[in-house]
Structure 1
Amino acid sequence: MKRVATFLGASILGGVITLGSYKLIMDEKVPYQEQEIITTSKSDFLPVSYDSSVYGTNADFTEAAEKTVHAVVHVKNVAVFEKPRSIWEYYSRGGNSGKALQGAGSGVIISPDGYIVTNNHVIAGASELEVTLNNNKTFQAKVIGTDSKADIALIKIDSENLEYIPFGNSNNIKLGEWVLAVGNPFNLTSTVTAGIVSAKARDLNASDNTPQSFIQTDAAINPGNSGGALVNINGELIGINTAITSQTGSYIGYGFAVPSNNARKIVEDIMEYGNVQQGVLGISGSDVNDRIMKEFNLEVSQGVFVGDIDSGSGAAKAGIQKGDVIRQIDNIEIRKMSDLTGYIGSKRPDDTVLVTAIRNGIEKQIKVKLTKYETFAIQAIGLEVANASKDYLKKFQTTNGVIISRSLLGDEQSKALVGVIITKIDNQKVSNVAEVKSIINSKDPSEQLSVTFVNYQGEEQTYIWR
Structure 2
Amino acid sequence: MAYRDYSDSNRRVGGFLLAAALAVATFGGVAAGAAGAGAPAEPAAAQQIQNSYADVLARVTPAVVTVRASRHTRAAQQLPFMDDPALRELFGDRFRQQQPRGEERVERGLGSGVVVTADGFILTNHHVVDGAEEIKVELNDGRTLTGKVVGSDAPSDLAVIKVDATGLPVLPLGDSDKVRVGDVALAVGNPLGIGQTVTMGIVSAKGRQTGLSDGSFEDFIQTDAPINRGNSGGALVNTQGELIGINSQILSPSGGSIGIGFAIPANMAKDVMGQLVATGKVRRGMLGVNIQNVTADLASSLGLNQARGALVSGVSAGGPADRAGLKRGDVITAFNGAPVTDNNTLRNAVARTRPGTAATVTVMRDNREQQFSVTLAELPVETARDDSREEPAGPREDTGGLGLRVQPLSPALTQRFNLKDATRGLVVTDVAEAGAGAEAGLQEGDVIEEVNRRPVSNVAELQAALKGSGERPALMLVNRGGASLFVPVRPRAQAPAR
Quote how far apart the aligned CAs of 1:63 are.
4.3
Distance in 1 between residues matched to 2:189 and 2:46, nearest whole Å: 22
Q: 2:234 matched to 1:243?
A: no
SS in structure 2 of the partner of residue 292 of structure 1: helix
Equivalent position to 1:175, from 174, 181, 199? 181
Give ranges in structure 2 of 5+ residues lacking alignment: 1-44, 79-101, 387-417, 425-444, 447-478, 484-498
For each residue in 1:148-183, what CA deviation from the matched residue of structure 2 results, as whole angstroms up to 9, or x when unmatched? 222111111100011112222322322222222121
Equivalent position to 1:214, from 217, 220, 245? 220
CA contact (8 A) 1:181 1:229 kept: yes
Letter in 2 for 1:229: A
SS in structure 2 of the partner of residue 375 of structure 1: coil
Alignment of 1:429-448 (within 5 A): none
Equivalent position to 1:58, from 30, 49, 55? 49
For each residue in 1:346-390, what CA deviation from the matched residue of structure 2 results, as whole angstroms up to 9, or x when unmatched? 33212344333323323334443321011266xxxx879xxxxxx
Letter in 2 for 1:123: V
* Shift in CA distance, 250/372, structure 1 to aligned 2, threshold 3 Å: same
SS in structure 2 of the partner of residue 149 of structure 1: helix
Letter in 2 for 1:333: P
Distance in 1 between residues matched to 2:157 and 2:320, nearest whole Å: 27
Q: 2:306 matched to 1:300?
A: yes
Alignment of 1:186-335 (within 5 A): 186=192, 188-205=194-211, 208=214, 212-330=218-336, 332-335=338-341
> What is the TM-score with the length of structure 1 in the denominator?
0.63
* Shift in CA distance, 74/55, structure 1 to aligned 2, threshold 3 Å: farther
When the two chains are superposed, the root-mean-square deviation of aligned CA atoms in Å is 3.6
Partner of 1:30: none
Give ranges in structure 1 of 5+ residues lacking alignment: 1-53, 87-91, 385-392, 400-418, 421-453, 459-466
Partner of 1:77: 69
Partner of 1:117: 123
Q: 2:166 matched to 1:166?
A: no
Q: 2:133 matched to 1:127?
A: yes
Quote how far apart the aligned CAs of 1:68 are.
1.6
CA contact (8 A) 2:296 2:306 kept: no
Partner of 2:440: none
Q: 2:422 matched to 1:397?
A: yes
Letter in 2 for 1:314: P
Say which structure, 1 or 2, has more relative contact order (CA 8 Å, 6+ apart).
Answer: 2
CA contact (8 A) 2:110 2:193 kept: no
State, as a whole percentage, how many aligned pairs show the same letter.
Answer: 36
Quote how far apart the aligned CAs of 1:208 are.
3.0
CA contact (8 A) 1:211 1:337 kept: no
Distance in 2 between residues matched to 1:161 and 1:264, nearest whole Å: 21
* Shift in CA distance, 344/69, structure 1 to aligned 2, threshold 3 Å: farther
For each residue in 1:216-240, what CA deviation from the matched residue of structure 2 results, as whole angstroms up to 9, or x when unmatched? 1111111110011122222222221
Count of matched residue pairs: 332
CA contact (8 A) 2:310 2:341 kept: yes
For each residue in 1:41-71, what CA deviation from the matched residue of structure 2 results, as whole angstroms up to 9, or x when unmatched? xxxxxxxxxxxxx999536744442322111
Distance in 1 between residues matched to 2:218 and 2:375, nearest whole Å: 22
Distance in 2 between residues matched to 1:56 and 1:172, nearest whole Å: 22
* Shift in CA distance, 200/190, structure 1 to aligned 2, threshold 3 Å: same
